[in-house]
A and B are shown apart, each in its own frame.
Chain A
Amino acid sequence: MADIKLSDIQKSYGDIPVLKGVDLQIADGEFLTLVGPSGCGKSTLLRIIAGLEALDQGEVLIGGRSMNDVRASQRDLAMVFQSYALYPHLSVQQNMETPLRLRDMSFWERFPVLGHLFPSRRLKTVSIQEIVNETATTLKIDHLLERKPGQLSGGQRQRVALGRAMVRKPVAFLMDEPLSNLDAALRVHMRAELAELHRSLKTTFIYVTHDQAEALTMSDRMAVMMEGNVLQFGTPDDIYKDPRDKRVAAFVGSPKMNFLPGEIDVQGRVSAYGIPIHKSNHTEKGPIEIGVRPEHLEVGPVGRNANQWPFTVTHKENLGSDFFLHGHINGSDQRIVARATPEKAQQISIGAEIKVQANPAMTMAFAADNRRIELVEG
């Protein structure tokens, strides 16, 4: 079994800390995404797992074995780079053969000219070619084997990079923003393909991205990183529905979660813009922030309920299946986004004064230090 365990990984460049003690346990065969804004340390963490970067403190364990003193080439991991890093002078076939040749052939068998003197070289060459052909067929790039990377499109290069990683059947695949160089349509398509590939290979994927949508759509579990820490680690569903930190809540989901200035009193009553929302066990008086996702803001008027905010619409965003209404509450300059069905949106014009109401069960509260405050019915 090859589960990967990271304990207390620390790394700094000069005086600047990049990773501040990261702990993660990655189960064998799972699709794990490291997601966060740029500069959060996710790529550095991946490169530490790969062994391309030395760590200052902590330990990387693969299958229970410490990898700290094992160099990248011997960790049996494969990596897909953001720029694909294909060897430009080698054909697709040769690119995919490279890891196998380096692993299976001895130094002398690989030696130019002289290598041909070894009879064993022939046998190995044949078996390597078989593996490459098989992989190329799986990835549907078998017709490109003779080409050089310079003659391929971005999507094709991406597949070759995947193929080069796959041929060796590594313990885990490390992917550093592999889709970021593709155009939008292809990116969406490749998400599905990668997820399918993961299901068929049943190998661990560690995937780095800054795109929360990729993380949500593909991963089994995701780790949201910010400023060198893992803020939350869990399934995409968990992270979306139950963010433990305001920064996680703000990062995951598109359009972003709305944040309203709120208050909490000594009885634990929570309110925003004067409208009570819920109670909490938290009884420290002070300002807090209320988070509501756009789809949890109901566009009204909704019945005769008094707990509604006046909302001025400033912009309508048409996505076809849905509308997003942008505007502000009570004339505050905080931009609020609410989702509406097309039918409802049709009746609302820009500049209209309407009412919105937060779905109390889906509303979250965050303390000044970004921690989530539990709300209770009441």
Chain B
Amino acid sequence: MMGQTAPMREAAKHAILILGALIVIIPFYVMVSYSLKSPREIESNTGGFFGAQAPMVDEYCVKVGNPKEDCLETPVIFNYSQAIKKAPLFRYLLNGVIVTASIFLLQVLIALPCAYALSKLRFWGREFVFSLVMFCLLIPVHAIALPIYIMLAKIGLTNTYASLVIPWTISVFGIFLMRQFFMTVPDDLIDAARMDGMSEFSIVWKVMLPTAIPALLAFAIFSVVAHWNDYFWPRIVITGDRDLYTPPLGLREFQGDADGSMWGPMMATATIIVTPLLVVFMLAQRRFIEGITLTGMK
């Protein structure tokens, strides 16, 4: 604050921050590095970050009866091609996109009118609905997984996209967040829209939605990150059908038959799963951090 910090202190601060950054980075380093290396290099901890990329023998290929020469591959290519071949990884990624996108769209579709009504309309039972929202904020959906699972099983919906999406369609957090945001939108704006002859329905989508973009974006970040990375819920409702696996489930399946030699492909899978969000984060970092901050300002 004095603008006269001693250079030694500044250096010490950077030293601590760099040490922290190194510890934070370790698993990312390991993940990417292992995804590039041959099993031998992984086991002996050699080859630096990139590995020597010396051609290696694909044991499985030999076992099937191919001559050894045809089974030589560069580790990085071996790892990533195994990741894609061993399991329908692209299918998993597609599932991830389908599920997170459907969840977010449904959440907005349901939350936005509700938030609008709670903040700008007067109707019988409004106070009750708002207290209901405040109460439901207390219930973490993960915690009530068992009864929801039983309900879905009773109507035969387990192992479907629906079972992955339905429990998350109602986001009380989203309602709360959007309501708080709508409270700051001036009533005059809505009255002007009414004078222009807009219906309440089109006010929600043509007036409120555009003004709420920052809050909506924050909510989108929250929702997408949570559901892309969610492992618990898919684990419960998707039991057999691999075609419905989301990315974390796909990775978990890999681990089931991991015996040292498959570390490379597995880390390649992990890298592929983790990268999309990290790339989006790097590109839109400011938005992300603003979003997290906005959701934190309850």
Contacts and interface: CB of A to CB of B under 8 A. Distances in A.
A22 interface: no
A367 interface: no
Interface string B1-24: 011100000000000000000000
Interface in A344-369: none
A304 B3 CA distance: 68
Contacts of B4: 54
A71 interface: yes
B23 to A, nearest CB: 31
Nearest to A72: B2
B36 to A, nearest CB: 45
Contacts of B2: 52, 54, 71-72
A275 to B, nearest CB: 56
Nearest to B2: A71
Nearest to A73: B2
Interface in A35-57: 52-54
A71 to B, nearest CB: 6
**A-side interface mostly:** loop
Report the interface size class on chain A: under 10
A317 B3 CA distance: 50
Report the interface size class on chain B: under 10
Nearest to A69: B4
Contacts of A72: 2
A230 B220 CA distance: 55
Contacts of A53: 3
A74 B3 CA distance: 17
Contacts of B3: 53-54
A72 B2 CA distance: 9
Interface in A58-80: 71-72
Interface string B115-145: 0000000000000000000000000000000
A264 B3 CA distance: 52
Nearest to B1: A52
A54 B4 CA distance: 8
B1 to A, nearest CB: 8
A52 B3 CA distance: 9
Interface in A8-58: 52-54
Contacts of A71: 2
A54 B2 CA distance: 7
Interface in B204-233: none
A150 B187 CA distance: 28
Contacts of A54: 2-4
B261 to A, nearest CB: 57
A66 to B, nearest CB: 16
Nearest to A51: B2
A72 B3 CA distance: 12
A53 B3 CA distance: 8
A300 to B, nearest CB: 53
Contacts of A52: 2
A71 B4 CA distance: 10
A85 to B, nearest CB: 13
B10 to A, nearest CB: 16
A35 B4 CA distance: 28
Nearest to B4: A54
Nearest to B3: A54
Interface in B88-138: none
A53 B4 CA distance: 10
Interface in B161-218: none
A94 to B, nearest CB: 22
A312 B2 CA distance: 57
A371 B253 CA distance: 87
A52 B2 CA distance: 6
B7 to A, nearest CB: 15
A312 B3 CA distance: 57
Interface string A283-319: 0000000000000000000000000000000000000
A52 B4 CA distance: 10
A74 to B, nearest CB: 12
A5 B8 CA distance: 33
A228 to B, nearest CB: 19
A54 B1 CA distance: 11
A93 to B, nearest CB: 26
A53 B1 CA distance: 9
A54 B5 CA distance: 12
Nearest to A53: B3
B187 to A, nearest CB: 27
Interface in B137-156: none
A245 B24 CA distance: 63
A72 B1 CA distance: 11
B9 to A, nearest CB: 14
B37 to A, nearest CB: 49
A168 B2 CA distance: 22
A53 B2 CA distance: 7
B5 to A, nearest CB: 11
A72 B4 CA distance: 12
A72 to B, nearest CB: 7
A79 to B, nearest CB: 14
A54 B3 CA distance: 8
B92 to A, nearest CB: 50
Interface string B63-86: 000000000000000000000000
Interface in A246-301: none
A353 B107 CA distance: 74
A52 B1 CA distance: 8
A176 to B, nearest CB: 16
A308 B55 CA distance: 105
A196 B4 CA distance: 38
A56 to B, nearest CB: 12
A53 to B, nearest CB: 8
Top 4 nearest A-B pairs by Cβ distance? A54-B3, A54-B4, A71-B2, A54-B2
Interface of B: 2-4
7 contacts: A52-B2, A53-B3, A54-B2, A54-B3, A54-B4, A71-B2, A72-B2
